[in-house]
């Protein structure tokens, strides 16, 4: 590559750098209104995710065209011949992307895989874009006349972008959200959204990344890199750019409130300093501090582990809607309810019996609400109401905070069977015993900010999609969102579960077990290669950054807000050896 043309080949990588900043209001079709757990809404607004995916995918054709230009000029062939060992590394990455594509093409939910799904918009085109970014980035940098010059320019652009992201998050940390100003709303919202104003989506810092968790991931992934460049950049100007960006990202990262992120950032900075420094005494101090820190974390987790088993925000243990009645269990006792619309008074309209058909003694108050005699089930009362045009049993449950939760059941359905009436006025048969639960996590669903509940219902899905996954962006559809009792018990009532909150569960379920293994192998090989280059400050920093993304992946998903930057760092790492 001639020096004058270097910037042309780096343009697609500059575009990838800017992906975290992109915001553009769009109204998109959701294709979810046919489900009982979703409202009768055909469209939804998105400001962050779909636009980021669009920008990423717009860079991919440019990468392909420029790679074609390299083939014509034989630049790319020379790079590949000189780096055959690196080409072998791309085999597992290729398997991961290929299995993701095959899983999506064979999926019953392929529409979501090709177009992207609500709350994610990480379609198969985005996944392919990740892989192409890694391959193209490595090729373009290695093919440059001065690869170090190319790396430095990419990192400088990235530092500026991260500085803007960090500034936005820092302002949010101190109570001012610039995204909610009229100026930003006018810039971002057009067409049918024109005239509206963006409202804050979180009470914590989230910058331009949609979710505080994603800001946490970005912080863990980039702060070690920015710190390393602030210490090792060759010019004072660049040192200042990296240092300011590092400070802003650190403040924003802290404002995101990511507790897991804080622990992982400490681990990554510890690893970076341990690898980077050449002083034996300093390594010994770091190692000792790290061991003490790990011991403290282990003691803390052991101390609070018992608390995870105690939080269940419902006294109802199971619910099953049948042909002729509704069965539920409370305090290890069976309750069977039915409704007779021809009854003349409340005790005749709603019947409440035990498992042997013997009616419970009920007391009817002046509001026609039935209470269990002798305080048998003090948290429960029963009545009949018209709810969403259905004559329904209204089972009222007093929650731990004193508020009332309503469970509505009706037999005014097409087949005359009893079904649960959702908050969206739709009916659905439910049987809580049919929900598969990963037994080691049962009773620990409240752990890790409720992720225990999501994982306990997600892990059994791995067996269903061991070879071929469910397809990209299909998690919302295969997760048991109809587990109304479980969601009520663990504070996900009326919440749509659309993410696995684990990168590895996400890949294993949506792309399959083969894709997951290939993904891990690729990045394990990259980490080994970077570790061998640990005398290089950039290699040490990239090792810590990529390790940080992997560690955060245990409790966070892949997202189009953060993953493009991760694969850009991957390309930089590949170009170092």
Q: What is the pLDDT of residue 283?
A: 55
Measured CA to CA, the distance from residue 55 to residue 64 in angstroms comes to 15
Taking phi over 0 as left and psi of -120 to 50 as alpha, with beta for the rest, 547 belongs to alpha
pLDDT by position in tens, the chain (length 577) = 344 345 688 899 999 999 999 999 999 999 999 999 999 999 999 999 999 999 999 999 999 988 877 766 655 555 555 666 667 788 999 999 999 999 999 999 999 999 999 999 999 999 999 999 999 998 888 877 788 889 999 999 999 999 999 999 999 999 999 999 999 989 999 888 888 888 877 789 999 999 999 999 999 999 999 999 998 888 999 999 999 999 999 999 999 998 889 888 988 888 888 777 765 555 555 556 555 555 555 544 544 444 444 568 899 999 999 999 999 999 999 999 998 877 666 667 888 999 998 999 989 888 889 999 988 999 999 998 888 888 899 999 998 888 899 999 999 988 989 999 999 999 999 999 999 999 888 888 888 888 899 999 999 999 999 899 999 999 999 999 999 999 999 989 989 999 999 999 999 999 999 999 999 999 989 888 888 887 788 998 999 999 999 999 999 999 999 999 999 999 999 888 7
Q: How far apart are CA 203 and CA 368, in angstroms?
A: 42
Sign of CA dihedral 162, 167, 170, 176: negative
Compute the C-alpha angle 458/504/121, nearest 5°.
Answer: 85
Query: How confident is the model at residue 542, as a pLDDT?
Result: 93
Contacts of 540 (CB under 8 A, 6+ apart): 228, 272, 275, 276, 530, 534
- What pLDDT does residue 306 have? 44
In degrees, to the nearest 5, what angle opens at C-alpha 413 toward C-alphas 411 and 416? 60
Identify the pLDDT of residue 69.
74
Residues contacting residue 455 through CB under 8 Å, at least 6 positions apart: 438, 441, 500, 501, 502, 505
Q: Which residues pair with 397 in a beta bridge?
A: 380, 405
Which pLDDT score, from 0 to 100, does residue 68 have?
Answer: 78
**pLDDT at res. 2:** 43
Contact 490, 313 (CB under 8 A): yes
Burial of residue 467 (number of CB atoms within 10 Å: 0-12, 13-18, 19+): exposed
Phi, psi values for residue 333, rounded to 5°: -120, 145
The model carries a pTM of 0.90
Per-residue pLDDT, 533: 80
DSSP bridge partners of 384 = 393
Report the C-alpha gap between 54 and 59 in whole angstroms: 9
Both tokens of 163, joined, read 């500085």
Longest dimension (CA), the chain: 91
pLDDT at residue 48, as a whole number:
93
Nearest to 490 by CA among 316, 330, 304: 316
């Amino acid at each position: 590559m001639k020096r004058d043309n270097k910037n042309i080949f780096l343009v697609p990588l500059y575009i990838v750098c800017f992906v975290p900043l992109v915001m553009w209001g769009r109204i998109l079709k959701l294709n979810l209104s046919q489900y009982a757990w979703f409202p009768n809404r055909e469209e939804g607004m998105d400001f962050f995710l779909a636009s980021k995916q669009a920008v990423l995918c717009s860079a991919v054709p440019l990468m392909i065209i420029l790679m074609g230009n390299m083939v014509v000029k034989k630049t790319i062939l020379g790079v590949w011949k000189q780096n055959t060992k690196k080409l072998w590394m791309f085999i597992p990455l290729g398997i991961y992307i290929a299995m993701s594509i095959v899983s999506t093409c064979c999926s019953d939910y392929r529409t979501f895989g090709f177009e992207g799904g609500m709350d994610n918009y990480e379609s198969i085109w985005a996944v392919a874009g990740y892989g192409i970014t890694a391959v193209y980035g490595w090729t373009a940098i290695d093919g440059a006349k001065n690869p170090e010059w190319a790396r430095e320019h990419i990192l400088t652009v990235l530092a500026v972008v991260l500085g803007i992201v960090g500034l936005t998050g820092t302002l949010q940390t101190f109570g001012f959200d610039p995204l909610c100003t009229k100026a930003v709303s006018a810039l971002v919202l057009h067409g049918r959204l024109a005239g509206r104003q963006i409202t804050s989506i979180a009470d914590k810092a989230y910058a331009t990344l949609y979710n505080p968790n994603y800001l946490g991931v970005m912080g863990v992934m980039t702060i070690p890199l920015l710190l390393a460049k602030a210490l090792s950049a060759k010019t004072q100007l660049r040192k200042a750019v990296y240092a300011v960006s590092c400070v802003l990202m650190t403040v924003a990262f802290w404002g995101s409130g990511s507790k897991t992120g804080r622990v992982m950032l400490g681990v990554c900075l510890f690893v970076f300093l341990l690898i980077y420094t050449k002083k034996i005494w300093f390594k010994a101090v770091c190692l000792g501090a790290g061991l003490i820190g790990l011991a403290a974390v282990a003691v803390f987790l052991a101390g609070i582990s018992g608390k995870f088993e105690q939080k269940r925000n419902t006294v109802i243990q199971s619910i099953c809607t049948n042909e002729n009645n509704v069965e539920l269990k409370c305090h290890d006792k069976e309750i069977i309810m039915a409704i007779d619309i021809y009854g003349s008074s409340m005790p005749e309209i709603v019947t409440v019996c035990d498992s042997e058909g013997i009616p419970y003694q009920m007391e009817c108050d002046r509001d026609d609400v039935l209470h269990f005699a002798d305080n048998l089930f003090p948290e429960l009362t029963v009545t009949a109401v018209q709810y969403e045009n259905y004559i329904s049993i209204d089972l009222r449950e007093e929650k731990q905070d004193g508020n009332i939760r309503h469970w509505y059941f009706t037999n005014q359905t097409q087949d005359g069977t009893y079904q649960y009436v959702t908050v969206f006025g739709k009916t659905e048969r439910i049987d809580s015993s049919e929900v598969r639960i990963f037994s080691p996590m049962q009773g620990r669903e409240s752990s890790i900010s409720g992720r225990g509940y999501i994982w306990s219902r997600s892990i059994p899905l791995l067996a269903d999609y061991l070879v071929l996954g469910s397809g990209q962006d299909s998690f919302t559809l295969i997760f048991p969102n109809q587990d109304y009792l479980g969601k009520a018990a663990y504070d996900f009532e009326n919440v749509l579960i659309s993410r696995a909150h684990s990168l590895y569960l996400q890949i294993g379920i949506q792309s399959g077990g083969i894709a997951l293994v290939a993904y891990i192998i690729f990045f394990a090989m990259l980490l080994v290669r970077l570790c061998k280059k640990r005398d290089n400050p950039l290699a040490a920093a990239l090792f810590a950054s990529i390790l940080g993304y992997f560690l955060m992946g245990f409790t966070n998903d892949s997202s189009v807000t953060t993953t493009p930057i991760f694969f850009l760092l991957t390309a930089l790492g590949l170009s170092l050896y």
